[in-house]
Structure formats: C-alpha cells, structure tokens
A and B are shown apart, each in its own frame.
Chain A
Amino acid sequence: MSEVATVVVGWGITFVVLATYSTWVVIRGKGIGQELGIGEIEQSDVEKDTGATTDS
C-alpha cells in the first residue's frame, strides 16, 4: 500500500467509525425516546438530574 493510500484508508476508517457510532447513538436515542413516548429532552432535564431530588 502506498503512502497516500494508507493515509486515505486511515482517515477513511476514522470517519466511518465516528459516523457509524454517531449515527448509532442518535438513532438509539430516537428509538428509545419513541418507545417511551418522550418528546425532546429539555435542557432543564439535565439540571433536574443535578438537583437534590431523586430522579424521575
């Protein structure tokens, strides 16, 4: 494999891995969200998590 080919393969694999992982995370979120019938999570949910009350 030539130098250039190796570089292309390296970058290519990286992008494929990251793209696949990103897509998986987002789709999984979407999927479970639909299962639970939850709409968009608001920013405030994160703040709720860090509060003193137990998690809902």
Chain B
Amino acid sequence: MPGANSGAKMTATPVTRVLGVSALAATALMAVLGLIVSPPDVIQGEAVRMLYVHVPSIWIAYGSFALTSISSVLFLRRSRRRADQGRHYDRLAGSAAEVGVVFTAITLITGMLWGKVTWGTYWQWDARLTTTVLLFVTYLGYLALRRLPAEPTVRSRRAAVMALISFVNVPIVHYSVDWWRTLHQKASLSVGRRPEITGEMYWTLLYSTLAVTILATWLIIHRYRVIRLEELRDEEGLEALIASRLNKDVGGH
C-alpha cells in the first residue's frame, strides 16, 4: 500500500500511489457523508444509506464490463495483425472484469440487505436483482474461461470473443427479464422502486460515485500489473523448464 520504502518490490508507481491515497481519502469522506452527514430518507429511513454504496457499485461494474468488452475488441483487432500483439488489451480486459465482478457482488449484497429493510425480504424476483445475478454469473464464467489450462493465445482469444458476445447478450437478457417481470408486476407492490433522490442525498450519491470510480481505477491498474507479472512468471517458468530439459539432454548440471 502507499508509502512503502524504495527497496520494496511491488507493483506501485508514483501515479498509483497518488491514486491510492486519493481513493482512501475519498472513500473515507464517502463514508462520513453517506453514514453521518446526509439525512435519512422520509420514506425509507436509514436504509437509503445503503444506496450510496449499492448504486455506484453497479454503475462501476457496468463501466468495468464495458471496458472489458472494448478492450477485447481492441485485442482481437491487434492480434489479428500479428499473433503476439495486443496482450495489454487482453490483460486490461481481465483486470476490469475481475474488478467488475467484485463490485457486482457488492451490489448484490447491499441490494439484498436494502431489500430486507424495504421489502421485508432478502430476495424478490424483480428484474434488477435477477439480471444482476445473471450478470454476475456471466462474468464469473468469463473469469473461469480466462483461467483455462490452454495456450495463452487460445485462452485470450476465446475470452475476448466471450466478452464481445456478452456485451451483446447482457442487454438481451436484461430486456427479457425486465419484460417478464413487468408482465407479472402486481399493481400493489412497488417492487424495486428507487426513491426520488434530491438535495443532499443527490450530492452524496454523486460524490460516492466519484469515490468508487477512483478506487476502481486504482484496483484495475494494480490488477493489470499483477496479471502482467503472472504472465512473466509463467513464461519464465516455461523457459526454465525447457532450459533444464536441454541441460539434462546434454548431460549437464
């Protein structure tokens, strides 16, 4: 974390140190604003505070997944031209997806807790919750695909294609489930209706989004670097393996 001595071997740079400290400060302020300063909602009471985490989380998740898809397109275009090219796009795609999954999980958890207070139950088959779970599982699958025991190029390519297809498919799923639930909506239950956010709550929400964005950016950058290190390590491991085999053949070592 920020402030380590210069002898340490880590994935930090001046840029990410600044980012990291900002993230820390921003989220601290977000907590203060969200939990203390901003007022409780007229209808929902204290529960509205959950939304300061819940809403920015899903927005960031969407943003991260969009980044994954865009990165995947760029990767495929680059690697078409020359086989080993564009790997940084692939790494970015993977990094963003993982961060997105983390934030989707947070969205789900906070959403369910919010629901417990507002609807009295942890789960409702409302469109938003359902599509978010599907989104979550979809990208868990993507992450699983990325971990496959296969040649890196094959793996990256498949993952990239999946990201693209998911980019098209997720809206379809969203629309389907949404339509399904509106058909079944009982008039009395205003399931999943979000409150009107005004005044201080609005600014708190906006600020929270900013804070979460900074944090997410910091995470994506660091995760990217870790992926890069992992790739380097795997490659070195492979080279060492080949080298040791060669040595054995020569009868050396």
Contacts and interface: CB of A to CB of B under 8 A. Distances in A.
Direct A–B contact in the complex, CB atoms closer than 8 angstroms:
yes
A12 B50 CA distance: 11
B171 to A, nearest CB: 27
A11 B13 contact: no
Interface in A29-51: 29-30, 32-43, 46, 49-50
B160 interface: no
Contacts of B239: none
Interface of A, secondary structure class, is helix
Interface in B94-150: 102, 105-106, 109-110, 113-114, 116-117
B12 A10 contact: no
Contacts of B10: 26, 29-30, 33, 40
A29 to B, nearest CB: 3
A32 B233 contact: yes
A40 B9 CA distance: 6
Interface string B18-39: 0000000001000100110000
A26 B86 CA distance: 24
Contacts of A15: 27, 31
Nearest to B235: A55
A9 B223 CA distance: 27
B34 A36 contact: no
A34 B9 contact: yes
A13 B107 CA distance: 11
A32 B236 CA distance: 12
A15 B6 CA distance: 28
B30 to A, nearest CB: 10
A27 to B, nearest CB: 9
Contact of B53 (A6, A10, A21, A54): A10
Contacts of A55: 84, 87-88
Nearest to A48: B88
B45 A32 contact: no
Nearest to A9: B113
Contact of B35 (A11, A34, A38, A43): A11
18 contacts: A3-B47, A3-B117, A6-B46, A7-B35, A9-B113, A11-B31, A11-B34, A11-B35, A14-B106, A17-B105, A25-B219, A25-B223, A30-B11, A32-B233, A35-B233, A41-B225, A43-B15, A54-B84
Interface of B: 1, 6, 8-15, 27, 31, 34-35, 45-47, 49-50, 53-54, 57, 84-85, 87-88, 102, 105-106, 109-110, 113-114, 116-117, 215, 218-219, 222-223, 225-226, 228-230, 232-233, 236
